[in-house]
Structures are given as structure tokens and as C-alpha cells.
């Protein structure tokens, strides 16, 4: 019997209990086991509480795909705070509006965006800045090589009273955050922003029960097809977008399956990771599938390990659907939804999917 009335993080905690020593994510070649990731989440949750963050407070996540994103997302929820993930390419004008709109007093940002955040801070309700870098959780020797060859993007960070370093916080505080009780049917699990085509972006709040329901829908479709612990997801979809976030949790993070987590969708790297790690699961938007198919080095990579590929975020052209099946020898399953309500449809995995564009034309 599925319990929808629980915090979102509970499903992750169950995976940690079942697969403590299995890889949860692989990021820039560094493996984070489930137990290690949970430890970092709990340390960050403790740090947030010590900094004065309380249940219901909004914590903005202004970073690309990286372990710190997951740690901030789950760490916020652990103490009842509400994560607000946004695109890492937003400008000062955009983040000023978003901070004030959701009343965020805490933000996790990349050091490259630190200047943007400090620029808008006096004009917003923001009170605390936590700064991180792509490689904060990567071993020192790897960071040294990266700095030596100028491969690590970074930005200047000025010390100030309300500016904190992410890596200092997870070192300083213990993995023992206070227990916070709340009603999952009423308490917000996140706020995602969508739209902008009709004016300013709209904040879409979802309760914990609502997000648990979405993840369980994905798990239900995957049942009997995606394994627990024996598949591997190559993931480059943005975590601040609902499609990527929910699929990641429903097919990998709550099922004990490792995920190769990519900061950006670089095509050659996607193909190399599928081959190197024997990736069995992949998802992307239609434009990404087209870019992969049009890469002139695609034939240099072995993609035969792939079992299931999903597309979302836009209509998948029949031409891309057919070309992918011919080249990779498996179809693309499709999902549709809206940030306001979550997934509304997802192709079942027990049958050959049909291109939705073609189905619409035949109606």
C-alpha cells in the first residue's frame, strides 16, 4: 500500500537503507554512495537550521545539476523549508523578481553568479547567501588538476557577514538535523517557476503529498521494467524542471539505481558516458535527441546498453522518433504534463510506443 502522505525525502531514505553502499550519483568521475549523499544532506540540513532557517522558509537553489543541488533540495525539505529551484542562467533582473515573489531569505548560488546575487540583495528580502563551486565536493587532487589546466569555471566571492561557503557548512555541522513534523497534504515540498510567455514567471507550489504522488506514478509505470539497483541513468536534463526532477527520482534515486549526473548536456560526453558506464536509461527534450542524432561522431560510440529512453517538455517530431529507433534500435517513450499539475500522461513500458504527433494527426 503506497503512503502518499509522507515527506518527499522518505522514499530516498528508504533507498539509503536498502542500498547504503551502492552509488547514488556519479559526478565528474566522483562516486557518491547513498549513505554518503544522505550524510551530506543531513549535514546541510543541520547547517540551515543553525543559520536560522525554519519550517516554511523559502530556500532558493540557483545552481546547475550537481550534488549540491540535491543536497540543498533534500536538506531544505528535511527541516520543513521549501526549496525554490531556478535556472542557473537567470540574470539579476530575473532573480530579483523571483526572490521577492517567493519571499526567499536564503539562496545557494554558484560563485560565478555571486555578483548577480549581491547586486540584487539590497533590493530583495534575501538575508543569507551560500556559495558553492562545481567542484566543491570533488577530491583535492582532481580539483588541482582542473585549476592547473584552467578547466574549472569560477567567480570572485567577497567575504561578508551573511555569506557562507557550502563546503565549510557541510564540514562544520553534524548529520543530526532536528526532526520537524508537518502535514504532507498541506506543507509545500517546492515552488517551481514556469511560463514567462504571458508576463513574469509564475510560481507553482506543490505539497509533499502531491510530489510523492508524481514520483509514485513514474515508479508505477516503471514497475517490472526498470530494476531496483541494476539500471543506470545518464542524466543531463535540468533538475530545476519538473520533467527531469520527477523522472530522476522515479526511475533512479528512489530505486537504488546510480545516475551519471551531468552539469550541462554536452553531446560527446553524453555518448561517452552511455558507453563507459553502460547506461540503460536516458531522457531528454526533442531538441537534444535531434542534436545527438546529428552529431557526426555518434557512430564512434556503443549505445547498445540503452533499454529505455524518454522525451518530454515538447512535442517529439515523428522524424526524430523514427531516426532514433533506426539508429539506436529502441523507441523513445514520451511523457507530458505541466508544472502546475505534474505528469498527465506517460507511455506504458509494456508496449511499443507510437509517436504522439502521429497519433494526434490521426484523431
Q: What pLDDT score does 358 carry?
A: 55
As a whole number of angstroms, the distance between CA 206 and CA 185 comes to: 9
Q: What is the pLDDT of the chain when averaged over all its residues?
A: 93
Q: Are 247 and 283 in contact (CB under 8 A)?
A: yes
Q: What pLDDT score does 197 carry?
A: 63
Over residues 291-296, mean pLDDT: 97
Q: How confident is the model at residue 48 (pLDDT cuts 50, 70, 90)?
A: very high
Residues 70-96 pLDDT 10s: 999 999 999 999 999 999 999 999 999
CATH of span 34-203 = 3.40.50.980
Q: What pLDDT score does 362 carry?
A: 47
Q: What pLDDT score does 150 carry?
A: 78
CATH of span 208-362 = 3.40.50.980
Q: Are 207 and 185 in contact (CB under 8 A)?
A: yes
* Residue 346 in this model has a pLDDT that exceeds 50: yes
Over residues 205-221, mean pLDDT: 95
Q: How confident is the model at residue 363 (pLDDT cuts 50, 70, 90)?
A: very low
> Which residues touch 39 (CB under 8 Å, ≥6 apart)?
175
Q: Are 59 and 53 in contact (CB under 8 A)?
A: yes
- Categorise residue 311: left if φ over 0, alpha if ψ from -120 to 50, beta otherwise: beta
Question: Which secondary-structure segment (H or E) carries 212?
Answer: helix 208-222
> Which residues touch 225 (CB under 8 Å, ≥6 apart)?
308, 349, 350
As a whole number of angstroms, the distance between CA 214 and CA 224 comes to: 18
The residues of the chain that CATH labels 3.40.50.980 are: 34-203, 208-362
Query: DSSP per residue over 259-312, as a string?
Result: EEE-SS--HHHHHHHHHHHT--EEEE-HHHHHHHHT-TTGGGS--TT--EEEE-
Residues 332-341 pLDDT 10s: 999 888 888 7
* Residue 43 in this model has a pLDDT that exceeds 50: yes
Q: What pLDDT score does 103 carry?
A: 98
The proportion of the chain whose per-residue pLDDT surpasses 90, expressed as a percent, equals 82
Over residues 273-294, mean pLDDT: 97
Residues 238-280 pLDDT 10s: 999 999 999 999 999 999 999 999 999 999 999 999 999 999 9
Q: Are 25 and 37 in contact (CB under 8 A)?
A: yes
Residues 102-157 pLDDT 10s: 999 999 999 999 999 999 999 999 999 999 999 999 888 887 888 777 777 888 88
Amino acid at each position: 500500500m503506497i503512503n502518499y502522505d509522507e515527506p518527499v525525502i522518505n522514499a530516498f531514505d528508504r533507498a539509503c537503507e536498502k542500498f547504503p553502499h551502492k552509488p547514488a550519483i556519479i559526478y565528474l568521475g566522483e562516486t557518491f554512495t547513498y549513505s554518503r549523499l544522505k550524510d551530506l544532506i543531513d549535514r546541510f540540513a543541520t547547517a540551515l537550521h543553525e543559520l536560522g532557517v525554519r519550517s516554511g522558509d523559502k530556500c532558493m537553489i540557483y545552481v546547475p545539476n550537481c550534488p549540491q543541488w540535491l543536497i540543498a533540495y533534500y536538506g531544505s525539505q528535511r527541516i520543513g523549508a521549501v526549496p525554490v529551484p531556478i535556472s542557473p542562467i537567470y540574470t539579476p533582473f530575473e532573480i530579483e523578481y523571483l526572490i521577492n515573489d517567493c519571499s526567499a531569505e536564503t539562496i545557494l548560488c554558484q560563485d560565478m553568479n555571486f555578483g548577480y546575487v549581491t547586486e540584487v540583495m539590497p533590493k530583495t528580502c534575501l538575508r543569507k547567501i551560500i556559495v558553492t563551486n562545481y567542484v566543491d565536493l570533488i577530491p583535492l587532487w582532481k580539483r588541482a588538476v582542473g585549476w592547473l589546466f584552467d578547466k574549472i569555471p569560477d567567480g570572485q566571492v567577497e567575504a561578508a557577514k551573511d555569506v557562507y561557503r557550502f563546503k565549510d557548512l557541510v564540514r562544520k555541522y553534524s548529520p543530526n538535523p532536528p526532526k520537524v513534523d508537518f502535514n504532507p497534504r498541506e506543507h509545500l515540498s517546492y515552488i517551481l517557476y514556469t511560463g514567462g510567455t504571458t508576463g513574469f514567471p509564475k510560481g507553482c507550489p506543490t505539497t509533499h503529498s502531491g510530489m510523492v504522488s508524481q514520483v509514485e506514478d513514474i515508479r508505477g509505470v516503471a514497475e517490472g521494467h526498470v530494476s531496483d539497483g541494476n539500471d543506470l541513468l545518464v542524466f543531463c536534463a535540468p533538475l530545476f524542471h519538473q520533467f527531469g526532477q520527477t523522472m530522476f527520482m522515479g526511475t533512479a534515486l528512489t530505486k537504488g539505481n546510480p545516475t551519471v549526473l551531468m552539469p550541462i548536456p554536452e553531446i560527446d560526453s553524453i555518448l561517452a558516458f552511455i558507453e563507459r558506464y553502460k547506461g540503460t536509461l536516458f531522457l531528454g527534450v526533442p531538441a537534444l535527441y535531434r542534436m545527438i542524432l546529428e552529431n557526426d561522431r555518434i557512430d564512434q560510440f556503443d549505445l547498445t546498453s540503452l533499454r529505455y529512453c524518454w522525451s518530454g517538455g515538447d512535442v517529439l517530431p515523428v522524424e526524430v522518433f523514427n531516426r532514433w529507433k533506426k539508429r539506436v534500435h529502441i523507441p523513445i517513450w514520451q511523457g507530458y504534463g505541466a508544472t502546475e499539475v505534474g505528469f498527465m500522461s506517460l507511455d506504458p513500458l509494456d508496449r511499443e510506443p507510437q509517436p504522439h504527433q502521429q497519433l494526434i494527426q490521426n484523431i
